[in-house]
Amino acid sequence: MKKPAFAWVYILLVIGLTACHTADSSNDGATTKNSDDVKTITFVHEESPDSVQNDYAEAFKEMVEDRTNGEVVVEVYPVGQLGDAPEQAEQLQMGGVDLAIASPGNTGTIVPENQLFLLHHLFSDDMEVNQEVLKNSEALDELALLYEENNMKVLSFWSQGFQQWTSDEEIRRPEDFEGLRIRTMPSPLLTDTYNAYDANPSPLPYEEVYSSLQLNMIDGQENPYFAVEEMNFQEVQNYVIESEHAIYATATVANPEFYEGLSDEVRTVVDETIKELQGLSVEMQEERNEEALETILESDIEFVELDDEEKAAFEQASEPVIEEYKEQVGSDGAEIIEQLQEEIAEAEEKYK
């Protein structure tokens, strides 16, 4: 059964507002449209209307429209309405849309360095540690500058939870992936990672995964629990494996011309809203993923939880891919990931 939208989030946000801001429509961005002094912001994301990304985008809409007394209107477009995820990223670069939630798996060919988010067992097993790093990382500040070189301004990095596997076959060790056709996002690094397990990685658009599983064109996929449940992958898979092999990190990005073209007052509203949502997204994904797992387990799918020894085997098998990443992205990317590894280790010490 699908979960209701996060009405409680919206109520909380409205109660917590301490001031409303008035938008200045005299200073328009290249892609901002005016009609009777109302500014429209187009916001695209990579998931369905029943998803964490849509909860986030709708919360952004509620907050911004309220704080500008309706002088700014936010139009939210889930995946498929204005193209698939890679097409959405291209539209943002060209100024066809204003804001996007763009995940590294779909933008790795644009900003190769951001594929560090896809590395298995790079981040902590403690999501609190990961949230701290995503909010306060000098390494990720450097990564954001590389986005800007490609006409995308990062407003926030945030997580949608841990990645998990579903499969037609039971997976407990790297050898179990041999020959398995696993769907990936269109990332060269993900291809390398699953090649290290002797799997057969198959890049596919998100919206084609269910039918491909149903038709036995692929054997498995990776996503947080909420995505598994919202897309009903449990209907066409035999196993769900709690692997927590990576975090599903994403980024809220803006077209730079749109962002710089906003009035100071509206830009402040946008910045403050994004900052608040970075914290609220933690609650959104936790609740979504917990409830989704409950629903998944109501089906006939078999649940497999990897123990520490089994996780360690995957970590060892994936270690060479970190060195491949450094070779692919060059010295700048290597410095970013090495600094990030230090920040993760420091955060783990802090939260012990």
Assess whether the region 25-160+249-290 and the region 164-246+294-350 belong to the same CATH fold.
yes
* 3 state SS of 251: strand
pLDDT for residue 189? 85
Residue spans per domain, the chain: 25-160+249-290, 164-246+294-350
Amino acid identity of residue 79, one-letter, is V
Per-10-residue mean pLDDT of the chain, 352 residues long, equals: 40 37 38 63 93 94 96 94 91 97 89 93 94 95 96 96 97 97 90 94 93 97 94 97 95 97 96 94 90 96 97 94 89 94 95 82
Amino acid identity of residue 54, one-letter, is N
CATH T-level topology, domain 25-160+249-290:
D-Maltodextrin-Binding Protein; domain 2 (3.40.190)
pTM equals 0.82
Structure tokens at 20: 């409303």
Q: Which residues contact 16 (CB under 8 A, 6 or more apart)?
A: none
Instruction: For the chain, give percent helix, strand, coil, nearest 5.
Output: 50, 20, 30
Are 285 and 224 in contact, with CB atoms under 8 Å apart? yes
85-114 pLDDT tens trace: 889 999 999 999 999 999 988 898 899 999
Q: Kindly report the CA angle at 39 between 38 and 44, in degrees rounded to 5? A: 135
pLDDT for residue 13? 40
What class has domain 164-246+294-350? alpha beta
User: In this structure, what are the phi and psi dihedrals at residue 43, rounded to the nearest 5 degrees?
Assistant: -130, 115
Q: What is the rounded radius of gyration, in angstroms, for the C-alpha atoms of the chain?
A: 20
